[in-house]
Chains A and B, each alone.
Chain A
Amino acid sequence: MKPLKQTMLPHWRALSGGWCFSAAVVRQAVLILTIAFMTSTVRAAEPDLLEPERAFALSARFKDQKTVELRYKVADGYYLYRARFKFMVEPTTSAKLGIAKFSKGKMKHDPTFGWVETYRDSVRILLPVATLAKETEPGQPPLRLKVTSQGCADAGVCYPPLHQLLTLQPGSLGVVLPDGEADAGSTARSRQSTPQNMPPTLSEVLRKPM
C-alpha cells in the first residue's frame, strides 16, 4: 500500500497545473484566510455607537482650592471639538469662572469648519474658580457646574451638544460619581439637548440597542 502522501501529491499537482504547493504553505494560507474571515465577520457588522457619556467620559475634582480639573476620556474612534466646550456655574453658586486652560489637542482640517482643534483619547481642562472662599471650605454648599461638550464619531456622525451638571463637593478631590451619590464627593448628571416634558421616544419605549 502506497503512503498517503504519495497518492495525494499527483492529484494536487494535477489540480495546480504542476505548481506544487507545499503542505506548510497551504496550511498557512488556510489559516490566514480563516482568521481574516473570522475577524471580517465582526468588522462587517454595522457599528454600534456609544452613549455620549461613554464616548466622552467625564470626571472632575478640585485640583486645589481655586481650580477645578475636568478630564474627558474619549473612546477610540471619537473626538471632541475644543471650540464647543462651555462652562457655567449655576446661579445658586456665588463662584465665578476664569478662563479655562486646555491640554494641547490635535489640529484637524474639517471640510466645512476649516482648521479646528480636536481631542482624541483624552482632554484635561483646568478651570479657575474665583471668589470661591466659602464654597471651597468643607461643609459649605457644593459648587454646581454646567459643562457643555460636543463631539463626533469617525463613523461619520456627530453627537448633539452634551450638557452635564457637576456637583463638586467643597474640598473634595473625589471622582465623578453616578446620580444620587452627591454626598459622597462630586456627581455628574448629563442630558442632551432634548425637549423636556416630551412623551417617551420610540427608542425609549423599545429600549433596543441600535
Chain B
Amino acid sequence: MPQRFLITAILVLATLAAVALWLGRADIVGLWSADNSVKFPSEIAISSGAVYSAKFTDLHGDARTLGQWDRKLLIVNFWATWCGPCKEEIPILVKIQAKFGERDVQFIGIAADSRANVSNFAESTVVNYPLFPDELGAMEFSKRLGNRLGLLPHTVIFGPGGAVLYNKLGAISEIELNQIIAKNAPINH
C-alpha cells in the first residue's frame, strides 16, 4: 500500500508541476521564486556614476541628483498616470517606504508624464517619496537601464554605491520588495 500511495503521489505532483509550469507559475510548486518580469539585456550600459549624476526636478521645482541617495538602497520606480499597473502598485511602494525608510531605503518615482498630471495625482494620493515628472527624460533613463520598449511600470533597485540589484518590468510585489530589502538594505548606523 505505501508503494501504491507513493507512486500515486509522484504522479499527482508531477502533473501539478507540469500544469503550474505550463501556466508560468513555477513558484506554486516552489521550483523557483516568482518572477514574472520581462527579460532584460544582461548588461546595463550606464555606469553608477552616470546614474548618480542624473538630475530630475521634483514637484516643488527643486532639481535633485540621484547621487544624494548614493549611500542608500535606492528604488527607482518609473511610472505614469496613464499606466494602470503603475498606479496600482504605488500604495505598496508607499507602504514599504514607510516601513523601511529608517533603514536607509529610499524610493523615488520618475514619471513619464506631464507635471500637471503628476501634481494632480499627488493631490489625490498620498505618496511619501519624491516624484519627478519628466515626460521625455524618464523614458530615456528607463531605456538606458534596459527597458528597450519603454514599458511601464519599471523598477530598478540600486545598492549603496550604485550596483543594480534588481531590474523589473511590470508591477513589483510587496513580497519581492521585502525580500530584496531584507537582503540588501544598509545596516543602520
B1-A17 in contact (CB<8A): yes
A19-B4 in contact (CB<8A): yes
A75 to chain B, nearest CB (A): 13
| Residue of B3, B11, B24, B84 ringed by the most chain A CB atoms within 10 A | B84
B26-A44 in contact (CB<8A): yes
B152-A195 in contact (CB<8A): no
- Interface residue total, chain A, C-beta cutoff 8 A: 50
Answer whether A40 and B18 are a contact pair too, CB < 8 Å, given A157-B151, A206-B43. Answer: yes
Q: Does residue B61 face the partner (Cβ distance < 8 Å to A)?
A: no
Residues on A with beta carbons closer than 8 Å to the beta carbon of B145: 202
Q: Does residue B171 face the partner (Cβ distance < 8 Å to A)?
A: yes
B155 to chain A, nearest CB (A): 11
Give A131 to B173 CA distance when docked, in angstroms: 53
A51-B149 in contact (CB<8A): yes
B82-A158 in contact (CB<8A): yes
Q: Does residue A1 face the partner (Cβ distance < 8 Å to B)?
A: no
Residues on B with beta carbons closer than 8 Å to the beta carbon of A32: 15
A202-B44 in contact (CB<8A): yes
A201-B136 in contact (CB<8A): no
Residues on A with beta carbons closer than 8 Å to the beta carbon of B140: 194-195, 198, 201
Q: List 13 contacting pairs A-B, 8 Å CB cutoff, sorted by A.
A: A17-B7, A36-B21, A39-B22, A84-B82, A112-B87, A113-B84, A152-B85, A153-B151, A157-B38, A160-B80, A160-B151, A193-B135, A193-B139
